[in-house]
Amino acid sequence: MIRVVSTIVLLATLAGCAKSVSSRAERVFYRGNGTAEWGTVCKLNRRGFIWLGERGYVSVAHVTDNGTPVVGPKDAVTISDQASDWSFLGIDATRLDPDDYAQMRPGMEVEIHGFPARDRDGEVIPGVVYADDPEPPFWWVELRDSVEGIEAEGVIGGISGSCVFDDDNDLIAVVHANGFSIIEGTTNTWAKVVPVREAILQAQGRLPPRPRRTLLGIPLPQLF
C-alpha cells in the first residue's frame, strides 16, 4: 500500500513539473486517397498578420499532403513544397513578413511542442540548435533530457510539424524528421527542422540559393 501511494505521489509530482503544450500547437489527423497521417500544425506569430483576427498555420507537407483534416483545424493548404517539406494553411504566405521570424543560429535554446500519434496531451521537448544541414533549408536541433533522470528521446511519429519555439516563445521552425547520430559531447538524439523564415522566403520566391556545404571537422546527424 505504501509503495502504491508513493508511486502515485511521484507521478503527480512529475505531472505537476511537466510543461504544458502551447495552445499554438494543434493536433491534426489527415486522411484521404488511401493515406493517413497524424501530425501537428502551428499558429503563426500574430504580429505577422495584416488584418486583426486573421489566423494562419504552418506545418510540414508530408503531413498535410495526406488528404483532408479529420482532426484539428480545417483550414485549407494555400501553398506547400514537398522537397523542403513545408506547408502554409489558411493564409496567403505572400502577405507574411519573414522578418517576424528569428533566424536560427547554433546554440539557441528551443522547445518543441507537439503531439505524438494518438497522444491527446502532447509533449514538450527541450533542445539546442546545433547546425544547418548541407541541404537547405533544414537545420538540426540536439534534443535534451526533458525530465531529470530520463535521457533525451527522439521525436516520434505524429510529432511531424511540431512547433519549435525560441526562448522568447516565438515560433521559429517546424519539425521535419527524427535523427540519431553519435557525435561526441552531444546526446546523439536529433530533430531535423524547417525554419519558418526560410519557408516564407521560399513561398515568396525570394530565398537566395544557399549552397550545399560540408562542415569541416563537424559531423552532421544522419537519419535512420
User: DSSP for 183-202?
Assistant: -TTS-SEEEEEEEHHHHHHH
Q: Where are the domains of the chain?
A: 25-98, 102-195
User: Cell numbers 506547400 label which residue?
Assistant: 80
Predicted confidence (pLDDT) per residue in 180-216, tens digit: 888 999 988 899 999 999 999 999 999 865 655 555 4
* CA 6 to centroid of chain Cα atoms: 35
Higher pLDDT, 159 or 167: 167
The one-letter amino acid at 154: G
Range 25-98 has CATH code 2.40.10? yes
* Superfamily holding 102-195: Trypsin-like serine proteases (2.40.10.10)
| Residue 9: partners with Cβ closer than 8 Å, 6 or more residues away | none
Predicted confidence (pLDDT) per residue in 132-166, tens digit: 998 889 999 999 876 665 667 666 666 899 999 99
Residue 31: pLDDT band by 50, 70, 90 thresholds?
A: very high
Indicate the SS3 state at residue 10.
helix
Q: What is the pTM of this model?
A: 0.83
Predicted confidence (pLDDT) per residue in 99-123, tens digit: 999 999 999 999 999 998 778 888 8
